[in-house]
């Protein structure tokens, strides 16, 4: 079989869930036994999202190889189990960086450099690279059709369709049918316009995936089929779902994967039966686990970007996975670390577990440190991630070891700098280094690093092995070289260390039911079908704490 290509574009407006739709298509094709590869082409001009605000743009996802990527890669990995790489993520910034470097080198001597063909050729090269390794290359185009930045991408798709022929390329357009309450109907006009726009650029969608809050009638499908020039069966309903993991099966029931295979002439009754079985065993089983949990557990996240939930998407997903593994549902209370300390403590009192996630700079730091102190003193399960570990170290130095001016280089050059800038470290046998003056983009300790787990610790009990790999994204490290004695006095135990023994990776506290922090970002490796052990254990401890609180409450009322 020739390798095949699926392009996914979005119409009308952003936030329709193109990433989840793409991930679901990948998962459904896998259920039919195909090898898929997921790529994303992001039209923005940043080289990567590493320098964008998570507050506006959502989380920066970190791949195993250290590529800082759009959060949709998190959906791809969680839905398909694939490990994406830097070769799967393209931005306009990356293309221009490459084309301009080639121009400076003299590669194009004599020609003027233009969007067509120079930029479009690079886009095509990116799409084609490694295609022979997969049956399907699924490419999501970021943004909305009509965005100025997106034009070269649509043009590249148009050319690829000509180059390979329509039998090897399918274009899926995700749109939205707004429901007009006053007339009680779903409106198709925005979709018609969006498809016209795409057609005006030479691209005819093969399938239209229609997001909608209400069922789409046969009449609407007929109308969309006629006005948008697609087969009626290829107008596929994509109803709003309360949980994203219900989406693959819902799309399957709406006929999406069937129509994709029909487009490529791949329909085969045997494969249909296999897909049915696979989807049932995986996605329907997950659906059951999600919909009938025996308990609910409340986790309090004390963070900075609490308004845009996408800023912590992998984290909240990892908590969901941990809850599913404990036959529970998690409810997250987002607490703004910039709150005044008294209000903060009032909110933390009833938490079953407190989590301090990754973060940058000094805003909200005192609130996060207060939350860690509260968790430590009140024996509430605590889980610190990256910045959460660094602040837990500062908290212990200040309040347990009595070093009031313990701090991090990130926000002060004065005091005892227990978290400091490290200029070199070992990575898989090679030395890596950086300077404080280095560019901000792409210069952190990024991607997967191995870690040695010390036996007879909580970390060892949880992981069950003595060497693990976790993804990183940070600039500062625990300064164990200088402050080992102080950390011992503060009751900190480092249960995970880098393989060379120089960098603390996991920290815990023995005299506490569950107090563990990691310098890595385990949330990036958690999957619905393989919940991350740290999240599973944290949720378990939180459930136990919540049961204890409940039984105390019962005791108080019955006394």
Taking contact as CB under 6 A, which single stretch among the options 80-88, 169-177, 284-292, 354-362 is the one that binds ligand GLN? Answer: 354-362
Taking contact as CB under 6 A, which single stretch among the options 103-111, 178-186, 200-208, 355-363 is the one that binds ligand GLN? Answer: 355-363
149 vs 336 by CB, closer to ligand GLN: 336
Residue 494 interacting with ligand GLN (CB under 6 A): no
Q: Report in angstroms how near the CB of residue 419 gets to ligand GLN at its nearest.
A: 7
Number of residues that bind ligand GLN (CB under 6 A): 11
- Active-site residue, from 122, 237, 493, 523: 523
Q: Report in angstroms how near the CB of residue 62 gets to ligand GLN at its nearest.
A: 9
Member of 96, 334, 360, 529 binding ligand GLN (CB under 6 A): 360
Taking contact as CB under 6 A, which single stretch among the options 201-209, 295-303, 391-399, 468-476 is the one that binds ligand GLN? Answer: 468-476
Active site residue 523: yes
Cβ(314)–Cβ(61) under 8 Å? yes
Show the DSSP H helices in 308-386 as ranges: 313-325, 341-348, 365-377
- Active-site residue, from 386, 399, 451, 474: 386
CA separation (Å) from 158 to 140, 196, 199, 201, 209? Answer: 15, 15, 10, 8, 19
Residue 68 interacting with ligand GLN (CB under 6 A): no
303 vs 322 by CB, closer to ligand GLN: 303
245 vs 387 by CB, closer to ligand GLN: 387
- Environment class of residue 151 by beta-carbon count within 10 Å: exposed (0-12), middle (13-18) or buried (19+)? middle
- Environment class of residue 96 by beta-carbon count within 10 Å: exposed (0-12), middle (13-18) or buried (19+)? middle
Cβ(322)–Cβ(532) under 8 Å? yes
Residue 368 interacting with ligand GLN (CB under 6 A): no
Q: Which of residues 397-456 bind ligand GLN (CB under 6 A)?
A: 410
Q: Report in angstroms how near the CB of residue 346 gets to ligand GLN at its nearest.
A: 26
Phi, psi values for residue 431, rounded to 5°:
-90, 135
Active site residue 64: no
Q: Report in angstroms how near the CB of residue 445 gets to ligand GLN at its nearest.
A: 8
Cβ(208)–Cβ(233) under 8 Å? no
338 vs 475 by CB, closer to ligand GLN: 475
Member of 40, 368, 473, 512 binding ligand GLN (CB under 6 A): 473
Residues linked to residue 474 through DSSP beta bridges, in sequence order: 445
Any idea of the CA torsion for 376, 380, 386, 389, to the nearest 10 degrees?
10
**What residue number has its CB nearest to ligand GLN?**
358
Active site residue 397: no
Member of 98, 223, 475, 484 binding ligand GLN (CB under 6 A): 475
Cα(391)–Cα(370) distance, rounded to whole angstroms? Answer: 10
Taking contact as CB under 6 A, which single stretch among the options 201-209, 271-279, 398-406, 472-480 is the one that binds ligand GLN? Answer: 472-480
Cα(308)–Cα(294) distance, rounded to whole angstroms? Answer: 29
End-to-end distance of the chain based on CA atoms, in angstroms? Answer: 73
245 vs 476 by CB, closer to ligand GLN: 476
Interior/surface letters 511-532, b for 16+ CB within 10 angstroms, e for the rest: ebebbbbbbbbbbbbbebeebb
- The SS3 assignment for 88 reads helix
Closest residue by Cα to residue 62 from 41, 77, 43: 77
Q: Report in angstroms how near the CB of residue 481 gets to ligand GLN at its nearest.
A: 16
Taking contact as CB under 6 A, which single stretch among the options 199-207, 290-298, 358-366, 486-494 is the one that binds ligand GLN? Answer: 358-366
153 vs 487 by CB, closer to ligand GLN: 487
Member of 79, 476, 515, 524 binding ligand GLN (CB under 6 A): 476
Q: Report in angstroms how near the CB of residue 472 gets to ligand GLN at its nearest.
A: 8
Cα(344)–Cα(109) distance, rounded to whole angstroms? Answer: 63
Member of 303, 359, 531, 533 binding ligand GLN (CB under 6 A): 359
Cβ(313)–Cβ(59) under 8 Å? yes
Q: Report in angstroms how near the CB of residue 359 gets to ligand GLN at its nearest.
A: 5
CA angle 320–326–330, rounded 5-degree value: 35
E-assigned strands of 57-181? 61-62, 68-69, 89-91, 136-141, 169-176, 179-180
Residue 387 interacting with ligand GLN (CB under 6 A): yes
Residue 386 interacting with ligand GLN (CB under 6 A): yes
Active site residues: 386, 521, 523
Which residues contact ligand GLN by CB under 6 A?
A: 358-360, 386-387, 390, 410, 473-476
């Amino acid at each position: 079989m020739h390798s095949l290509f699926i392009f996914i574009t979005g119409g009308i407006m952003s936030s329709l869930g193109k990433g989840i739709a793409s991930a679901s298509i990948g998962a459904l094709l896998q259920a039919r036994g195909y090898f898929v590869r997921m790529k994303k082409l992001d039209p923005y001009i940043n080289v990567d999202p590493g320098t964008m605000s998570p507050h506006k743009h959502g989380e920066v996802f970190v791949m195993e190889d250290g590529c800082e990527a759009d959060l949709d890669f998190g959906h791809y990995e969680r839905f398909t189990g694939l490990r994406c790489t830097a070769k799967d993520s393209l931005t306009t910034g990356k293309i221009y960086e490459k084309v301009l470097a080639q121009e400076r080198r003299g590669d194009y001597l004599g020609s003027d450099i233009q969007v067509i063909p120079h930029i479009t050729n690079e886009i095509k090269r990116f799409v084609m690279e490694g295609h022979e390794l997969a049956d399907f290359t699924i490419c999501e185009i970021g943004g909305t059709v009509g965005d100025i930045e997106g034009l070269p991408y649509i043009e590249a798709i148009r050319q690829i369709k000509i180059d390979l022929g329509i039998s090897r390329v399918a274009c899926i357009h995700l749109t939205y049918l707004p429901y007009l309450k006053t007339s009680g109907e779903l409106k198709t006009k925005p979709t018609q316009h969006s498809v016209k726009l795409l057609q005006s650029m030479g691209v005819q969608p093969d399938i239209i995936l229609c997001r909608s809050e209400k069922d789409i009638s046969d009449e609407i499908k007929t109308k969309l089929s006629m006005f948008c020039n697609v087969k009626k069966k290829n107008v596929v309903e994509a109803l709003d779902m309360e949980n994203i993991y219900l989406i693959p099966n819902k799309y399957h029931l709406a006929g999406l994967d069937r129509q994709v295979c029909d487009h490529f002439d791949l329909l085969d009754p045997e494969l249909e039966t296999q897909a049915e079985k696979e989807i049932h065993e995986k996605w329907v089983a997950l659906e059951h686990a999600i919909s009938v949990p025996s308990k609910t557990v409340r986790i309090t996240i004390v963070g900075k970007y609490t308004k845009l939930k996408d800023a912590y998407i992998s984290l909240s997903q990892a908590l969901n996975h941990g809850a599913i593994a404990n036959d529970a549902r998690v409810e997250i209370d987002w607490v703004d670390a910039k709150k005044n300390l008294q209000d903060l403590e009032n909110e933390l009192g009833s938490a079953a577990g407190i989590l301090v996630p990754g973060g940058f700079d000094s805003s909200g730091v005192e609130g996060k440190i207060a939350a860690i102190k509260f968790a430590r003193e009140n024996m509430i399960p605590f889980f610190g991630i990256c910045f959460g570990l660094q602040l837990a170290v500062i908290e212990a130095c200040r309040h347990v070891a009595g070093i009031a001016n313990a701090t991090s280089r990130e926000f002060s050059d004065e005091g005892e700098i227990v978290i400091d800038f490290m200029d070199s470290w070992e990575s898989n046998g090679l030395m890596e280094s950086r300077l404080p003056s280095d560019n901000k983009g792409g210069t952190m300790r990024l991607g997967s690093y191995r870690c040695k787990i010390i036996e007879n610790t909580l970390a060892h009990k949880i992981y069950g092995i003595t060497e693990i790999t976790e993804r990183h994204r940070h600039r500062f490290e625990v300064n164990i070289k200088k402050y080992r004695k102080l950390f011992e006095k503060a009751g900190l135990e480092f249960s995970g260390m880098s393989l060379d023994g120089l960098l603390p990776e996991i920290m815990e506290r023995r005299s506490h039911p569950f107090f563990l922090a990691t310098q890595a970002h385990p949330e990036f490796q958690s999957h619905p079908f393989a919940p991350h052990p740290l999240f599973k254990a944290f949720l378990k401890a939180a459930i136990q704490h919540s049961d204890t609180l409940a039984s105390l409450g019962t005791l108080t009322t019955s006394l």
